Structure 1
Amino acid sequence: MHHPFVSRRQLLSQAAVGFGSLALASLMAENGAAAEQNPLAARAGHFPPQAKRIIFLFMKGGPSHVDTFDPKPMLDRDDGKPCPIEKPRVQFAATGNLLKSPWKFKQQGESGLPVSELFPNVAECVDDLCMLHSVHGTNPAHGGALLKLHTGSDSFVRPSIGSWVSYGLGTENADLPAFLTICPTLAHGGINNWGAAFLPAVYQGTPLGNASVPSDQARIRYIVNSQLPRDLQRLQLDLLSKANRVHMAESGPEASLEARINSFELAFRMQQAMPQVEDLSQETEATKRLYGMDDPTTANFGRMCLLARRFSEQGVRFIQVTHSDSKVQWDQHSDLKNGHEKNAREVDKPIAGLLKDLKARGLLKDTLVWWGGEFGRTPVAEGKNGRDHNPEGFTMWLAGGGVKGGMRYGETDDYGYYAAVNKVHIHDLHATILHLMGIDHERLTYRYAGRDFRLTDVEGNVVKQIIA
């Protein structure tokens, strides 16, 4: 008797199951059908969320926690003396004696949280901030630390947190990406910091410009089709989609092809939706001043923050805003005072403007604003007036989106070198952020190469004490 050979692909086709739908169905069985039809369709999380969207304000280079939000009186007292605690076994550069902060701290708001004079505008919003003073990572180099912060791994290429959030929850606006990164850095991991890795490509971040492009010139590449009008583009896409669907019906589901079809459709819709969101002429002059767009010093980052608010209003799930340049960044190995003052002047007013604007519009309650860099800096001097990288203990803050405002959580030691009390590892931070979005970090998994992967790998604990 003749038994026709049935290929693996044909078997999957006849079973009406493909790898893409298997993975999505394993994520949330109740949403599997919708996800198979449209991988970016909005989906419910594992439990009711406290935040619907995230705005990540990334300060590339590593701002110094002991000069911004984590004052250390003993560092002031012992300035110039040898460090009395053992330095980390792995250091990025040679360091010397203790170096006090050149800036004064003052208690702010009803909560009395201390903020340095570097951030006078953010200080006005301190009662909405939840300070995490005991964050720590594992890598003292920019590249590894950026990857750890963005993907949970500093040794392998893994999906970014924005991709995981998009994979888990989809988007609230089918005409815009679920994950957008505004003027991202191309260094130290580059696209891997907003890439989807082994997740379907539809979940990777969409870059709007890059760090070397002024924000008023930042555009999504190829957003305009100068060759064909929209009606002809629509006919082309319909024909291409039909051909691809016929192909998949005959040969079986194919995740890469499904992702490509969806990316074509999204790109077509974005041609109309994206320019409307980027058109800031709709904003009042008062709003633009709130973000510092009337001042050349703050205009560039102010525009990025205003765009983040506009994208969040339109249902974009994860928006990253990167403050970086090719010269100074926050990486002050020398000339700490001038470097940090230059950076703080550029971002302080725009960040405060974003927080105030979100709050006034009723958006802060379900928008999680996340601020920080890839690590902090040492309390000891590098050279005469700089600080080296320090992943051992540093500060990040969260605002809105279900966290307690006006709160300090965790502590570094007396000099600010190591996370010491209520330590928050990067995996814990990721687990907490996902929890606020209604996602159980242990259940947000994707099977690849024979094992289940997740953002937090096999670690991570939700920091429940900071949740409102």
Structure 2
Amino acid sequence: MSTPQDLADLENRRRFLTHAGMGLGTTAMASLLSRSAHAESASAAKETGLPPGCHHAPKAKRVIFLFMAGGPSQMDLFDYKPNLDQYFKQELPKSVSQGQRVTAMTKGQTQLIASTKFKFAQAGESGLWMSELLPHLSKQVDKLCFIDSMNTDSINHDPGKTLFSTGSEIPGKPSMGAWLSYGLGTLNKDLPDYVVMPSAFWGGKVNVQGLYSRLWGSGFLPSKHQGTSFQTAGDPVLFLSNPRGVNADVRRRMLDSLGVLNQKHFAEIGDPEIQTTIAQQEMAFRMQTSVPELTDISDESAETLAMYGPDVDKPGSYARNCLLARRMAERDVRFIQLFHRGWDHHSKLPPNLIAQCSDVDQPTSALLADLERRGLLEDTLVVFAGEFGRTIYCQGTLTHDVYGRDHHPRCFTALIAGGGVRGGMRYGKTDEFSYNIVENPVHVRDLHATMLHLLGIDHGRLTFPYQGLDQKLTGVNPSRVVTEIFA
């Protein structure tokens, strides 16, 4: 005869198995739907002649995303406002600020206008205005599209970087590179689809914001689509080298044996992550050869090394990472993301901005020129942006040579080149204070939709079933493709 405790235990077991079954069923269904979508994509590719995963003919096949973490000051670098000197140290008109949200760092303070101390000049055949802080990049201006009307939802760094990287302020969603790996598949069997390279930083940096692996994570997508982070010192990828006493033959036999066990485990429980583990272990084995060859720049000419500047000799520097990004583009890595930190200038902006631009100006220019001369720029989309912009009003001490700026999500500038984008142009417009957008706003999600379109993807059709919703990089918010910037 069953006791009340026996019945309670039985009920608990029934509830657990029911709920677990539903959970496993949902996971399996998502996996099957994902495989079905990829099978349909492959079938459609044969019928239409399009590359696998593409909904229309792509202009680009890969992306290099140069992320300036911290928020570069658009009015000191790109968004030239020549009449602002006359407003220096005057309060920003209420008709401009409109009571809009500010951070706690400047809440309640008088918003005194700080016009830039840096000079601007027209560059290239297009005659676009560029700051004196970017003399090398100014030479590439005819390759660049300046989107001056970028805007975002986020006024703080963590949600801002998360939104730019994943399309959502809520952590845990797949990153841009993970979506591309999932949607388009691999171009190179010996290197990851998605590589991340944070720049090393040395003394003198201020307000260096943290980076988190979720910014290049796979979220609810299969984990094989997550970014592989290259280290700034030692092995480029953790545990790339074999331990003492283990050679390539031993490693191969070990992986073969482990693969048999994993396949047996997969046959028993059907967890798709087991197949991911097998695939990633095989990729790691191939990377033991491909990554050292990739990161060995001894075969680069002296002329090429000089293009990228003196820091190219420093492993982990932004300059070295730009050169590696070009080498990855040659080897068809799908999504390459560089993170350069230190752009959060709440005080002493002029000297700190000079240092930051010294880091990135020549290498970014060299990357564009190097891609072009090798015939890679036409199908490589290069994006240069931070998570938001800076305020025209000062934070802290204000003189012509000393000022800081707070976070400003309402307008900032992103640069785009290559991959079907028209160079030598500006898109969007801000008011005379670089505070509000007055023409052609472009939200971060619009940029995502535009990037996907250039890669041959309809952003509304790149989906993954999760939590009862067909999830997308651009989310449920209305997003548009900015076709006006297309070549």
- CA distance 1:221–1:120, change in 2 (3 Å): same
Per-residue Cα deviation, 1:223-273 (whole angstroms, up to 9, x for no partner)? 11124211222222222222222332343x312111111111111110000
Question: What CA distance in whole angstroms lies between the structure 2 residues aligned with 1:298 and 1:207?
Answer: 14
Equivalent position SS for 1:115: strand
C-alpha distance in 2, partners of 1:269/1:405?
Answer: 38
Corresponding residue for 1:449? 467
**For structure 1, which segment, 236-245 or 253-262, has the greater mean C-alpha deviation from structure 2 after superposition?**
236-245
Query: Which of the numbers 346, 349, 352 marks the counterpart of 2:365?
Result: 352
- Give aligned-pair identity as a percent: 41
Partner of 1:363: 376
Corresponding residue of 1:408: 426
Cα distance change of structure 1 residues 219 and 397 upon mapping to structure 2, 3 Å threshold: same
Q: 1:431 aligns with which of 425, 443, 449?
A: 449
CA–CA distance in structure 2, aligned partners of residues 236 and 158 of structure 1:
34
- The answer to whether the 8 Å contact 1:291/1:306 transfers is yes
* 1:150-165 matches, cutoff 5 A: 150-165=165-180
Which amino acid in structure 1 is aligned with residue 75 of structure 2? V
Secondary structure of the corresponding residue to residue 117 of structure 2: coil
Q: Which residue type is aligned with residue 329 of structure 2? A: S
**Cα pair distance change 1:297/1:266, threshold 3 Å:** closer
Q: Distance in 2 between matches of 1:294 and 1:248?
A: 48
One-letter code aligned to 2:102: Q
> Of the candidates 243, 255, 262, which is equivalent to residue 279 of structure 2?
262
Measured against aligned partners, the alpha-carbon deviations of 1:388-426 in whole angstroms (never above 9, x if no partner) come to: 011110000100010001010001111001222100001
1:49 to 54, 58, 61: 58
The equivalent residue for 2:400 is none
Secondary structure at 2:354 match in 1: helix
Aligned equivalents of 2:20 and 2:440: distance in 1?
A: 50
Question: Which of 246, 250, 268 lines up with 1:232 in the alignment?
Answer: 250
Matched, 1:118 2:140: no
- 8 Å contact from structure 2 (residues 411, 434) kept in 1: yes
CA–CA distance in structure 2, aligned partners of residues 223 and 281 of structure 1 = 20
The answer to whether the 8 A contact 2:312-2:319 is kept is no
2:181 paired residue number: 166
Residue aligning to 1:200: 222
8 Å contact kept, 2:152–2:160: yes
Q: Deviations over 1:137-179 (max 9, x none)?
A: 0111110100011011112421111111111111211110000
1:338 and 2:351 equivalent?
yes
Cα deviation, 1:33-53, whole Å, max 9, x if unaligned, reads 99xxxxxxx834111111111
Q: Which residue of 2 aligns with 1:80?
A: 89
- Verify: 1:461 aligned to 2:480, yes or no: yes
Which residue, out of 18, 22, 37, partners 1:26? 37
Question: Following the alignment from structure 2 to structure 1, what is the Cα–Cα distance between the partners of residues 283 and 316?
Answer: 30
Could you tell me which residue of structure 1 aligns to residue 150 of structure 2? 135
Q: Secondary structure at the match of 1:135?
A: strand
Task: Say if 1:176 and 1:266, in contact at 8 Å, map to a contact too.
Answer: yes
Deviation of 1:188 after TM superposition, in Å, equals 4.6
Partner of 2:327: 310
Distance, in Å, in 2 between the alignment partners of 1:152 and 1:266 is: 28
* Gap change, CA 1:200 and 1:88, over 3 Å in 2: farther
Q: What SS does the aligned partner of 2:310 have?
A: coil
Number of aligned residue pairs: give it: 444
Question: 1:333 is matched by which residue type in structure 2?
Answer: H
Query: Over residues 31-85 of structure 1, what are the superposed CA-to-partner deviations in whole Å (9 max), with x where a residue is unaligned?
Result: 2899xxxxxxx83411111111100111111100001111012322211111111
Structure 2 CA distance for partners of 1:260 and 1:295, relative to 1, 3 Å:
closer
Which among 77, 82, 107 is matched to residue 68 of structure 1? 77
Question: Is the CA contact (8 Å cut-off) linking 1:376 and 1:394 kept in structure 2?
Answer: yes
Corresponding residue for 1:3?
Answer: none
SS at match of 1:380: strand
Out of 187, 191, 194, the residue aligned to residue 213 of structure 2 is 191
Bigger drift between 74-83 and 141-150 goes to 74-83
Higher mean C-alpha deviation, range 191-200 or range 286-295 = 286-295
Worse-superposed segment, 82-91 or 284-293: 82-91
Aligned to 1:293: 310
| Bigger Rg, structure 1 or 2 | 2
CA contact (8 A) 1:27 1:446 kept: no
Q: 1:297 to 1:75 in 2, by over 3 A?
A: farther
- Contact map agreement 1:293 1:300 (CA 8 A) in 2: no
Cα distance change on mapping 1:361 and 1:262 into 2, 3 Å: same
SS in 1 for 2:190: coil
Query: What CA distance in whole angstroms lies between the structure 1 residues aligned with 2:291 and 2:316?
Result: 21
Matched residue type, 2:324: L
- Counterpart amino acid of 1:109? G
SS of alignment partner, residue 121 of structure 1: helix
1:280 matched to 2:297: yes
Q: What is the TM-score of this pair, normalised by structure 2?
A: 0.86
Q: Is the 8 A contact 2:193 2:334 kept in 1?
A: yes
Residue identity in the other structure for 1:204: Q
Aligned to 2:260: 242
| TM-score, with structure 1 as normaliser | 0.89
Answer whether contact 2:312 2:320 (CA < 8 A) is retained.
Answer: no
Contact 1:61 1:330 in 2 (8 A): yes
Cα drift, residue 122 of structure 1: 0.2
Contact map agreement 1:122 1:352 (CA 8 A) in 2: yes
Q: For each residue in 1:176-216, what CA deviation from the matched residue of structure 2 results, as whole angstroms up to 9, or x when unmatched?
A: 0000001269955611110111110000000001xxx46xx
AA partner of residue 110 (structure 1) = E
The CA deviation string for residues 2-51 of structure 1, in whole angstroms up to 9 with x for no partner, is: xxxx99999999xxx764242142356132899xxxxxxx8341111111
Establish whether residue 394 from structure 1 lines up as the match of residue 412 from structure 2: yes
User: 2:322, 2:364 within 8 Å by CA — same for their partners in 1?
Assistant: yes
For the residues of structure 2 that align with 1:195 and 1:260, how far apart are their CA atoms? 16
Secondary structure of 1:173's counterpart equals: coil
Partner letter of residue 310 of structure 2?
A: M
Output the CA distance in 1 between the equivalents of 2:329 and 2:152: 29
Letter in 1 for 2:278: I
1:33–1:414: structure 2 CA closer, same or farther, 3 Å change rule? Answer: closer
